[in-house]
Chains A and B, each alone.
Chain A
C-alpha cells in the first residue's frame, strides 16, 4: 500500500470536489440525481469503512452493524419521540461509535486479527439483525415506516419532489466524513494508525499504543457509517432488520472502497462513482441498446453479469483500486 500523503492539497482538493459536486444537481435529470444521491450515500458508507478498514487496517465485514444502528436510531427517535433526524443522526452516530468501542475492545482484547476479526464483526452485525428481528419495540421483522410529510421540511429533511435538497444533505454529510478523513490522515493519530496497519508489533515496539488508535479508528468509522444509515431512513422512508443489518449491506459497504482504492481519501467516492455509472450504464445498455447490439434488449441479468465481470477485472488488474491505478500511472509519468 502507498504511504500516507500529507499536504494542504488534500484540503484544497476537498473544497474543490465538494463545490463541483454541489453544482451537479443543476445539470442532472431527476433520475440521474437519484442515482447520484444513492452513490453519495454509498460513498459515505465507504468513507466510514475506509477509516477503519483502510487506514487502521482492521478489515470489517460487519459494517452493517453501524449502518443499522444509525438507521434505527433515526427511525425510532422520529416515529416514537418526534425527534428531528438531525438530532437522531448525532445520537445514532454516537451509539454506533460506542457499539464500535465495546465490540472493538472485546475483539482486540482477545487479539483477533485478520480473518478472525472480520468474522467477529460479521457476527456482531448478525447478532444485531437477530435482536432487531425479535424486538417488538422496533416492530420486529416488519420494520419501521417513516411517515411522508407534505411539502418541504428541513427539520425532517423530507422534501416534496425536490430531490435536490436530499442530495445536498447527503453531500454535506459526505463532506464532513471526507474532512474527517483528511484530518485523520494529516494528524499524528492517523500516522499511528497506518503504522499499526503496516506492522502492529513494530508499531507497539516503538511506543504506539495499538489498542488506543485502533479503537479511535473504529469509533470514527462507526460514527460516519451510522450517518449514512440515518440518511438512508429519511430518504427511503423504510427500514427493516434485513435492510439495516443484512450481510448484503456489509458487502455493499466494502465494495466501493475496494473498487476505488482502500486506504486512500478519494477511493470510496471514486468507487461509488464508478459502480453507480457501471450499474446504471449496463442497465441502460440492456434497456435501450444501440442498433448493432439490439439483441441485448431485455436480456435480464446481463447487466448483473457485466457488473460482476467488471468487478473481477478490477480485482485482478487493479487490486489497489482505481485511485491506486491512477497513482501508478502518475509515478510512471514522473520517471
Chain B
C-alpha cells in the first residue's frame, strides 16, 4: 500500500505537469504553422535567416493577418497604467487596419495578442515565450524596466524585434542587443535634459540655481535618473546637497523625507517617482510650505498628469515636470486622444500614447519590410525614419545602433491655471515658464 501511495503522488505530479503541457500544446495546435517556425529558430540562427524569407515567398498567397504581441502589467500594482497602454495598443491596431492594413503585404490586417506580465519578470518572460511560440512577428512593451529586461533577452534569443514603449533604464539597451528599440528617452536623457531645463528656466528668470535637494524612489528607475541628473547638473554648477531615496510602493507619507530635503535650504527640490508617491511628495511640500523657488519633477509620474491637477487642485499650481510627453500642439494627437477618451471613458496619458506609437513604429517597419519575417522587420526597424509621430520630440523617430531613439527628448511642463502646459523648449511652448513658482508663497 505504501508503494501505491508513492505511485499516486508520482502520477499526480506527472498529471499536473502533463496538463501544463496540454495547455501549452492546445495553443500550438490552433496554429500548426508556428510549430515549424519555432523549430527552425531553435536551430542555428543562420538557418532561420536563409529559410525564413524563402518560406514567405513560397507562401505567395496574400498574408491575411499579421500577429504582433503586447506585454504590459494588466493586473497587480501597476494594472491601471498597463491596462490603459494595452487599450491604446488595441486602438492603434484598429486604426491601422481601418486605414487599409499593411499595403505592401496586400492589405494584410494586424492582430494584437495582449499578454499580462502581472508586473513580475518571470511571468513577463514566459508570456514573451508564449507570444513568440504563437508566431508574433514583433513585440511591444512593457512599462517596467525589470520586465522589459527579460522580454528584451527573449526577443534577442528568438530573433523577434521588440519595440519598447515605456521602460527607462539605460542598461536594457547596453547589452548590445540587435532586436530591441526604444521610443522613449532613456534615464540618461531624462536626467540630462532635466538638469538642462532647470538651469535654463532659472537662469532666464535671473535666479540661477546652485543647490538642489533630490527626492527619488529607490528602485532602478529613480536611482538611474538621479545619477544622470547629478552628473549633468554638475556641469551647470548645480550641486545636489541632499539625496533622499524612498520606497515607492510602501510609502504612505513623505513628510519626513520632505523635511530632510528642505533642511539644507536648497533653491529647488527635485522629485522622481511614480504617481502615488509623487502626489504624497507634493502634498508634503505644500503642508510644510517648504521654502524653495520651485518643486521640479524629473520623469515624475504625477506632476504632468491631468489626475494630479484634479487630485491636488490649487496646490498643483506652478509644479514643473521634465518628462516624455505627447505633442500637445499636434491635431493628430488631439484626434487620437479624443477618440481614446470617447472609447474608454478616460483621459489618454503619455504612456498610452507611447504604446500607441510603438505599434505604429512596428507597423511602419512591417510595411517597409514587405515581409513577415521578424529579421527583415528588425532590419526595417533599424532604418526607421518616422517624422509623422505623436511625441514632443525635436525630430523624427530614428534609432541608433544601440536601438535608442536619437531624437527622444523630454519636454518641460508646468501646471499653470490648473492645466499642464508645455513650457520648454521654445518650439513646443504652449506658454511661458513661470519661475519662481510655488503656490504657497
Contact = CB atoms under 8 A, between A and B. Distances in A.
Nearest to A302: B75
B175 A147 contact: yes
Given A7-B2, A38-B126, A330 B222 contact: no
A327 B169 CA distance: 50
Nearest to B125: A236
Interface residues of A, number: 63
B387 interface: no
Interface string A128-169: 000001000000111101011000000000001111000000
B146 A29 contact: no
A105 interface: no
Contacts of B116: 283, 300, 303
Contacts, number: 177
B20 A280 contact: yes
B23 interface: yes
Contacts of B1: 330, 333-334
A322 interface: yes
A304 B13 contact: no
Contacts of A31: 24, 27, 126, 129-130, 133
Interface string A225-266: 000000000001110101100000000000000000000001
Interface in B35-49: 35, 38, 41-43, 45
B3 interface: yes
Interface residues of B, number: 66
Contact of A273 (B8, B16, B219): B16
Contact of A240 (B12, B43, B146, B177): B146
Contacts of B227: 142
A301 interface: yes
B220 A142 contact: yes
Interface in B161-175: 169, 171, 174-175
B218 A273 contact: no
B8 A330 contact: yes
B132 interface: yes
A30 to B, nearest CB: 5
- Chain B binding surface SS class: helix
A294 interface: no
B121 interface: yes
Given A161-B42, A277-B19, A240 B219 contact: yes
A17 interface: yes
A330 B5 contact: yes
Contact of A266 (B2, B13, B24): B13
B61 interface: no
Contacts of A148: 153, 156-157, 175-177
B153 A16 contact: no
A20 interface: yes
Contacts of A21: 17
B142 interface: no
A176 B169 CA distance: 37
B158 interface: yes
B429 interface: no
A17 B13 contact: yes
B79 to A, nearest CB: 7
Interface string B60-100: 00000000000000111001000100000000000000000
A236 B121 contact: yes
B314 interface: no
A281 B224 CA distance: 37
Nearest to B28: A29
A185 interface: no
Contacts of A36: 17, 20-21
Contact of A270 (B3, B16, B130, B171): B16
Given A13-B10, A145-B171, A140 B223 contact: yes
Contacts of A160: 45, 157
A175 interface: no
Nearest to A265: B9
A276 interface: yes
Contact of A326 (B9, B24, B121, B176): B9
B207 interface: no
B129 A300 contact: no
B425 interface: no
Interface string A60-91: 00000000000000000000000000000000
A110 interface: no
Contacts of A270: 9, 12-13, 16
B307 interface: no
B407 interface: no
Nearest to B9: A266
Interface in A22-77: 24, 27-36, 38-39
B75 A300 contact: yes
B234 interface: no
A326 B8 contact: yes
Among A20, A21, A300, A301, chain B packs the most CB atoms within 10 A around the CB of: A300
A43 to B, nearest CB: 10
A32 B20 contact: yes
Interface of A: 5, 7, 9, 13, 16-17, 20-21, 24, 27-36, 38-39, 133, 140-143, 145, 147-148, 160-163, 236-238, 240, 242-243, 266, 269-270, 273-274, 276-277, 280-281, 283-284, 288, 298, 300-301, 303-304, 322-323, 326-327, 330, 333-334
28 contacts: A5-B2, A17-B10, A28-B25, A29-B28, A29-B38, A30-B133, A31-B27, A31-B129, A32-B24, A36-B20, A39-B20, A133-B218, A141-B220, A142-B227, A143-B146, A148-B153, A148-B176, A161-B158, A236-B153, A238-B149, A238-B150, A266-B9, A273-B16, A276-B20, A284-B26, A298-B114, A303-B75, A330-B1
8 interchain residue pairs of minimum CB distance: A32-B24, A273-B16, A31-B130, A29-B24, A300-B74, A34-B129, A330-B5, A141-B223
Given A9-B6, A29-B25, 8 more contacts: A13-B10, A20-B10, A28-B25, A32-B23, A35-B24, A161-B157, A274-B16, A303-B116
